[in-house]
Amino acid sequence: MKEIFLLKLGEIVLKGANKRQFESKLRQNVRRRMKLYGNFDVYIMQSTVYVEPMDEMADVDGAWEACRSIFGVVSLCRCRPCEKNVDAIFDAVEAYLGDDLDCAASFKVESKRSDKRFPLNSIQLSQEIGGRLAEAHPHVKVDVRRPEYTVYVEVRDLAAYVHGPAEPGAGGLPTGVGGRAMCLLSGGIDSPVAAYMMAKRGVEIECTHFFSYPYTSQLAKDKVIELARLVTKYSGRMTVNVVSFTEIQEAIRDNCPEEFFTLIMRRFMMEIAQTIAKQDGCGALITGENLGQVASQTMDAMTVTGAVVDIPIFMPLVGMDKEEIVTIARKIGTLETSILPYEDCCTVFTPKHPKTKPTLGQLLNAERNLDRQALMEKALATVEKIKVSYHDEPLL
Identify the band that residue 208 occupies on the pLDDT scale cut at 50, 70 and 90. Answer: very high
What value does the mean pLDDT take over residues 340-348?
A: 79
What value does the mean pLDDT take over residues 326-336?
A: 97
What pLDDT is recorded for position 1?
A: 60
Residues 286, 370, single domain; the answer is yes
Closest to 272 in 3D by CA, of 369, 344, 377: 377
Identify the band that residue 294 occupies on the pLDDT scale cut at 50, 70 and 90. Answer: confident
pLDDT at 8 > cutoff 80: yes
Residues 184, 156, single domain; the answer is no
- What is the CATH classification number for the domain harbouring 201? 3.40.50.620
Question: φ and ψ at 299, to 5 degrees?
Answer: -60, -40
Between CA 317 and CA 320 the distance in angstroms is 5
Amino acid at 152: Y
Closest to 314 in 3D by CA, of 350, 271, 284: 284
What value does the mean pLDDT take over residues 131-142?
A: 96
Residues 203, 338, single domain; the answer is yes
Count of structural domains, the chain: 2
pLDDT at 241 > cutoff 90: yes
Between CA 113 and CA 120 the distance in angstroms is 8
pTM metric for this prediction: 0.92
Closest to 167 in 3D by CA, of 291, 38, 73: 73
pLDDT at 113 > cutoff 90: yes
pLDDT, tens digit, 9 for 90 and up, residues 149-185: 999 999 999 999 999 999 999 999 999 999 999 999 9
Question: What DSSP line would sit under 120-152, residue for residue?
Answer: S-HHHHHHHHHHHHHHH-TTSEE-SSS-SEEEE
pLDDT at 324 > cutoff 80: yes
* Structural domain for 144, as ranges: 4-170
What pLDDT is recorded for position 152?
A: 98
The H or E element that residue 328 is part of is helix 322-332
Given phi > 0 = left and psi -120 to 50 = alpha, else beta, which region is 324? Answer: alpha
Residues 66, 143, single domain; the answer is yes
pLDDT at 33 > cutoff 90: yes
Residues 95, 232, single domain; the answer is no
CB atoms within 10 A of CB 158: 12
Residues 154, 196, single domain; the answer is no
pLDDT, tens digit, 9 for 90 and up, residues 57-90: 999 999 999 999 999 999 999 999 999 999 999 9
pLDDT at 343 > cutoff 80: no
Residues 248, 116, single domain; the answer is no
- Of 140, 170, 200, the position where a domain reaches its end is 170
Residues 380, 275, single domain; the answer is yes
